[in-house]
């Protein structure tokens, strides 16, 4: 028995090491999440010793496979990614394999959480049992009603079903959000000016150009004066964008298309052979934007002119309040030359930049456009109800926000919910977004 216990503890240690070491090589930017996965795996394996006793003999084999499947799939994902780098997988497997693994892990995490909660709930029953074993049918062990296991499994299965449905019903059901923005200092020449904002395409999660053609049609139907893309064109490397180059050239706007970089555009989510290889990837992205005719703003600005009126378009590199994403953006440098503009628009990928720097140090920036959050690909917005897990991390995570200064000046922030996906290849109750902002001169 002692050897069995030692052997099982050794297995747990090996599984945790695979997740932390090999997983860290496959996904170098997700260290904190890998620690959580390793702990979850250890809890998972420890609970097996007691959970298996409740299995009915008739379904033992099926239930055993169901219990271990999430962990086996996770280990297979990491080992496969170590043998063959994950970004180089065929698109179908690169998109759906980690997505299915994520759904299984969410289900198992919910199951274990409910199991732990139920065990805490029945502590008094187990204390009574140890005092008087005759109070239960099976004295001497931890008492857990089978109904608790069935309830936990049922809830987990329901949640996983919702996640699977989200991969098919909402993920490509693109929604046009139209916002008419009243602006006091807007020049008359720009009254009715149409801006289309798109964000977080994540081309690496597309397996064909069919969704992109649908997106382009919606965009072009708006006949925008200008289009702004607020970052995250790819997931891991520029190579993901090449199959869609010709389609991307079909996006049109009268005054052009302006773009910035998001956190995924720097190649920091891949393991590179050398710094030179990473630098080449980044320069390739700049070349890609040049070829499709998009104007990349890296801490600089341009002026849009109507008659004698000027709108400044300011673009910064990724700036985040989180240390994890860093502060590459230099807004002080980016605003140079915009002093004569009557209205200023800032493109900044991460919305935490708004409270972190913009509305306190740059009150003359009228409108900030961001993305990044994806609304966590899970949100509920019905009437006054507006909630997403993203709200636990971001104060502003989706839609229009405003700040009114003591002098009456108003600054706006719009956070686009994104077009693509990351990790989980689906969306739940929140649709991928294309934003149409129409500037109106306020009375």
Identify whether residues 164 and 190 lie together within a single domain: no
Instruction: Name the pLDDT band for 132 (thresholds 50, 70, 90).
Output: low
Q: Let me know if 171 is exposed, middle or buried by CB neighbors in 10 A (0-12, 13-18, 19+).
A: buried
Mean pLDDT across 86-99: 90
pTM for the model stands at 0.90
For the chain, percent of residues with pLDDT exceeding 70: 95
Identify whether residues 253 and 373 lie together within a single domain: yes
Around Cβ 258, how many Cβ atoms within 10 Å?
23
Question: Which of 116-120, 123-127, 180-184 is modeled with the greatest confidence?
Answer: 180-184
- Whether the per-residue pLDDT at 4 is higher than 60: the answer is no
Instruction: Name the pLDDT band for 128 (thresholds 50, 70, 90).
Output: low
> What pLDDT, on the 0 to 100 scale, is given for residue 32?
81
Identify whether residues 54 and 202 lie together within a single domain: no
> What pLDDT, on the 0 to 100 scale, is given for residue 29?
81
Give 253-277 pLDDT, tens digit per residue.
Answer: 999 999 999 999 999 988 888 999 9
CATH number of the domain to which 280 belongs:
3.60.21.10
Identify whether residues 118 and 222 lie together within a single domain: no
- Whether the per-residue pLDDT at 367 is higher than 80: the answer is yes
- Whether the per-residue pLDDT at 134 is higher than 80: the answer is no
Residue where a domain stops, chosen among 117, 144, 169? 169
Query: Who wins on pLDDT, 127 or 251?
Result: 251
Identify whether residues 183 and 107 lie together within a single domain: no
Identify whether residues 101 and 142 lie together within a single domain: yes
Instruction: Name the pLDDT band for 130 (thresholds 50, 70, 90).
Output: low
> What pLDDT, on the 0 to 100 scale, is given for residue 136?
47
Question: Which string of b and e fits 129-168 if b means at least 16 CB within 10 Å?
Answer: beeeeeeeeeeeeebbeeebbeebbeebeebbeebeebbe
Identify whether residues 93 and 219 lie together within a single domain: no
Give 146-168 pLDDT, tens digit per residue.
Answer: 788 889 999 999 999 999 999 98
Domain range for 93 = 2-169
Identify whether residues 223 and 338 lie together within a single domain: yes
User: Which H helix or E strand runs over 278?
Assistant: helix 275-292
Give 371-398 pLDDT, tens digit per residue.
Answer: 999 999 999 998 888 999 999 999 999 9
Residue where a domain stops, chosen among 119, 152, 169? 169
Please choose, from the candidates 117, 191, 182, the residue with its C-alpha nearest in 3D space to the C-alpha of residue 148: 117
Identify whether residues 311 and 422 lie together within a single domain: yes
Query: Who wins on pLDDT, 143 or 222?
Result: 222
Identify whether residues 187 and 159 lie together within a single domain: no
Identify whether residues 348 and 321 lie together within a single domain: yes
Instruction: Name the pLDDT band for 72 (thresholds 50, 70, 90).
Output: very high
Residue where a domain stops, chosen among 123, 151, 169? 169
Q: Let me know if 289 is exposed, middle or buried by CB neighbors in 10 A (0-12, 13-18, 19+).
A: buried
Structural domains of the chain, count: 2
> What pLDDT, on the 0 to 100 scale, is given for residue 31?
82
Give 405-439 pLDDT, tens digit per residue.
Answer: 998 889 999 999 999 999 899 999 999 999 999 99
As a whole number, the mean pLDDT across the chain is 91
Identify whether residues 101 and 58 lie together within a single domain: yes
- Residues 344 and 358: their CA atoms lie apart, in Å, by 12
For the chain, percent of residues with pLDDT exceeding 90: 75
- Whether the per-residue pLDDT at 125 is higher than 80: the answer is no
> What pLDDT, on the 0 to 100 scale, is given for residue 137?
53
Give 200-251 pLDDT, tens digit per residue.
Answer: 999 999 999 999 999 999 999 999 999 999 999 999 999 999 999 999 999 9
- Whether the per-residue pLDDT at 93 is higher than 60: the answer is yes
């Amino acid at each position: 028995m002692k050897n069995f216990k030692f052997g099982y503890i050794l297995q747990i240690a090996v599984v945790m090491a695979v997740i932390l070491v090999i997983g860290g090589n496959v996904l170098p930017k997700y260290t904190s999440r890998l620690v959580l996965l390793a702990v979850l795996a250890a809890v998972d394996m420890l609970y097996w010793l007691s959970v298996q006793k409740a299995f009915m003999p008739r379904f033992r084999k099926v239930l055993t496979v169901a219990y271990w499947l999430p962990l086996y799939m996770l280990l297979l994902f990491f080992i496969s990614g170590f043998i063959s780098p994950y970004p180089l997988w065929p698109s179908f497997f690169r998109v759906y394999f980690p997505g299915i693994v994520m759904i299984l892990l969410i289900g198992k995490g919910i199951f274990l959480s409910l199991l732990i909660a139920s065990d805490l709930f029945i502590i008094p029953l187990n204390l009574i049992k140890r005092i008087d074993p005759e109070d239960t049918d099976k004295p001497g062990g931890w008492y857990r009603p089978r109904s608790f296991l069935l309830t936990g499994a049922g809830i987990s299965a329901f949640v996983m079903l919702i996640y699977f449905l989200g991969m098919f019903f909402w993920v490509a059901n693109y929604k046009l959000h139209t916002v008419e923005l009243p602006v006091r200092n807007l020049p008359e020449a720009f009254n009715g000016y149409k801006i289309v904002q798109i964000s977080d395409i994540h081309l690496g999660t597309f397996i064909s150009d069919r969704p992109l053609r649908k997106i382009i049609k919606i965009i072009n139907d708006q006949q925008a004066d200008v289009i702004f893309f607020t970052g995250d064109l790819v997931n891991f490397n520029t190579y993901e964008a090449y199959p869609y180059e010709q389609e991307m050239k079909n996006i049109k706007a009268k005054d052009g298309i302006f773009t910035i970089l998001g956190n995924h555009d720097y190649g920091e989510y891949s393991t590179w052979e050398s710094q030179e290889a990473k630098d080449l990837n980044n320069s390739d992205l700049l070349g890609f934007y040049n070829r499709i005719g998009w104007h990349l703003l890296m801490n600089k600005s341009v002026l849009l002119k109507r008659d004698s009126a000027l709108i400044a378009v300011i673009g910064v590199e990724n700036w985040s309040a989180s240390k994890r994403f860093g502060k590459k953006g230099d807004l002080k440098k980016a605003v140079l030359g915009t002093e004569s503009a009557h209205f200023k628009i800032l493109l900044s990928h991460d919305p935490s930049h708004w409270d972190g720097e913009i509305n306190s140090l740059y009150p003359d920036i009228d409108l900030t456009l961001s993305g990044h959050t994806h609304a966590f690909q899970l949100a509920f917005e019905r009437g006054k109800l507006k909630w997403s897990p993203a709200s636990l991390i971001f104060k502003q995570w989706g839609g229009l926000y405003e700040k009114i200064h003591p002098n009456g000046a108003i600054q706006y922030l719009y956070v686009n919910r994104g077009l693509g996906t990351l990790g989980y290849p689906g969306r739940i109750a929140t649709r991928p977004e294309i934003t149409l902002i129409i500037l109106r001169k306020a009375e």
